[in-house]
Structure 1
Amino acid sequence: MNDYVPPPEFMPSEAGWGCTFVGFEEREFTKRIAESVHGIIWALLEVGYDLSRLEGITVSARYAESLAELDRGFETSAPLAPTQEYGTGMAMAAPIVREGKIMSRLMLDASIGVALLSEIEQERSFGLCTAVHELAHVFDLANKDKAFPGVLLKPYPGPILEVEMFKLSSLAWDEYFTTEQSARLRPASLDDCDEVLETALDDLLARLAEARRAFFTHRDFGRVFREMSTTMQILLKFSAYVLGTLDGLGRGDEYGPKSGDKIRASRFQTTFDSLRQALRQMASTYPTWQGVEAFAPLRAVAQRALEAEGLHLAMTDDGQMNIWVLHPENFTPQQHMAASLGQPI
């Protein structure tokens, strides 16, 4: 029998254990879902997860509505919404602020709660893997807030180029870590995330190329930067899902079973391999990071990835950022000073 008791400072508060159910009528059913989620939380506490920043749990039959209505505790430009990139999101560890402290609320679509109680192993493992993945986000957010306090959910404290590359690349770490942590619970998750990358790869590379070509018609440096950085962010994130799952399954030197051939045959292979190295470098010192410089390897990958697509960035001596867009036919590069220090595009 395991008599291990997690340290009190790792435990969610009494409120953090609370489950709110939206759109459910049968009380006994919701009680079973809550017990299942609590069992997962307790198991993670026993292996050393700090879940003290878990503010609570919502399981909703109206998931999109519940996300939109969540009180974040800080000003945002738009309400939360399920991800819609090549699939619809069904779970999220939503960052919030309560009494000045960064917390997370676990938001689950009702289908995840139902899956946790399923008698079908494939469905139950999907629900378990999803819940652990999101609770790993809770753990990771707490660790980052300790490593660089006063930085998260605020303007990034650095030169404009670092700001933009952090914004572009940080999601890759988030998804690498959480998929690495949850992969062993459902090895089939590799097929799922790899299929997304394989499906999206050609489209995203085409979008990058088209944004670059379109620049030579509209000549808007802010627009081409936004379009290319947003697309590259998605591509790095989808790649990180696959890389994290491979590492979690002990298959770290491999490529995805479906996306691998496409990546090796594309101009993206160098970026993919560099991303793997950068994420492993960050993981080697996690969670004892000493500030935002822990993300320097990932920022460098993001900048080189844009350069490989024809968008070159450089800091000036006076703290501004220059953008060069290389013509697809290798004509004379266009150059423009597009943003100044402290004013992200």
Structure 2
Amino acid sequence: MEENAARERQFPGILLDQTPAGYVRLLERQFAEAFWCEYAVCGISARLARNEEQRFRENLTSRLNDARTHAREAIRSYRTHRDVERVLQEVGGAALEPLRIASYLFGHLDGTSDEECDVAAELQAADPIFVAAIGELVSQMRLLWNRRGAWETHDDMLVLGRTAFALIRVCGVHARMAERISASHSLPTPM
């Protein structure tokens, strides 16, 4: 509530804003809200919940284990059902859940220490595309946190949603602002 209240004070009405923004923009905002809120809340409450770190780590490891496999299976399934919203939801769910859980973990870690931990070192055994995406996301959230209360617009947070779409794209689904969604004909190769 503290984080939402701070954003509402800075940008009155933003949390209930129902302005039509287009499908992709709406998803960018939803993704950004999810990542930011988890990061901020865990950072704020970290010193009160020190025993949560191991649970966050285990949850992230679990989500990372088969994320790319689940995304590939969703794309294979798309080739049969041809439902673009379904493939976006399925690939997005598989790809973005690790980012959401990483938001918990790194919010917590950043909230318990005055020094920022190295994201790549925390994710040594993970799939490189997820390590890169989580590293980018955490870097963006840290910048936003350091500028909290001084954002020029609420849309400063949308960079988090764009990172989400970049990962979905690397996993093989491409969504453009023109509202068109397509699944790749070939699966991405590891970075």
TM more than 0.5:
yes
CA distance in 1, matches of 2:125, 2:180: 33
CA deviation profile, 1:70-91 (whole Å, cap 9, x unmatched): xxxxxxxxxxxxxxxxxxxxxx
CA distance in 2, matches of 1:212, 1:156: 31
Aligned ranges 1:36-185 → 2 under 5 Å: 138-185=1-48
161, 176, 179: which one pairs with 1:321? 179
1:253 aligns with 2:121: no
Q: Could you tell me which residue of structure 2 aligns to residue 285 of structure 1?
A: 147
Aligned ranges 1:334-345 → 2 under 5 Å: none
1:195 aligns with 2:53: no
Q: How far off its partner does 1:156 sit?
A: 4.9
Q: Could you tell me which residue of structure 2 aligns to residue 123 of structure 1?
A: none
Root mean square deviation, CA, Å = 2.3
CA spacing shift, 1:278–1:239, aligned 2, 3 Å: same
Q: How far off its partner does 1:152 sit?
A: 1.7
1:304 aligns with 2:162: no
CA distance in 2, matches of 1:232, 1:144: 27
Q: Could you tell me which residue of structure 2 aligns to residue 20 of structure 1?
A: none
1:294 aligns with 2:152: no
CA distance in 1, matches of 2:38, 2:80: 36
Q: When the two structures are aligned, how many residues end up with a matched partner?
A: 187
Q: Could you tell me which residue of structure 2 aligns to residue 89 of structure 1?
A: none
State the TM-score, normalizing by the size of structure 2.
0.85
| Greater percentage in helix | 2
Counterpart contact for 1:194–1:242, Cα < 8 Å: yes
1:231 aligns with 2:89: no
CA distance in 1, matches of 2:19, 2:71: 25
Structure exhibiting the larger radius of gyration computed from Cα positions: 1
Structure 2 stretches lacking a partner, 5+ long: none
Q: How far off its partner does 1:220 sit?
A: 1.0
SS state of the match for residue 252, structure 1? coil
Counterpart contact for 1:156–1:163, Cα < 8 Å: no
CA distance in 1, matches of 2:3, 2:172: 33
CA distance in 2, matches of 1:278, 1:160: 23
CA spacing shift, 1:281–1:158, aligned 2, 3 Å: farther
CA spacing shift, 1:261–1:301, aligned 2, 3 Å: same
CA deviation profile, 1:109-131 (whole Å, cap 9, x unmatched): xxxxxxxxxxxxxxxxxxxxxxx
CA distance in 1, matches of 2:185, 2:129: 17
Structure 1 stretches lacking a partner, 5+ long: 1-137, 331-345
Counterpart contact for 2:120–2:131, Cα < 8 Å: no
AA paired with 2:158? A
Counterpart contact for 1:147–1:290, Cα < 8 Å: no
Q: Could you tell me which residue of structure 1 aligns to residue 107 of structure 2?
A: 244
SS state of the match for residue 302, structure 1? helix
Counterpart contact for 2:72–2:187, Cα < 8 Å: no
Structure 1 stretch 291-300 or stretch 228-237: which is displaced more? Answer: 228-237
After TM superposition, what 4+ stretches of structure 1 lie above 6 angstroms from structure 2?
A: none
| Greater percentage in strand | 1
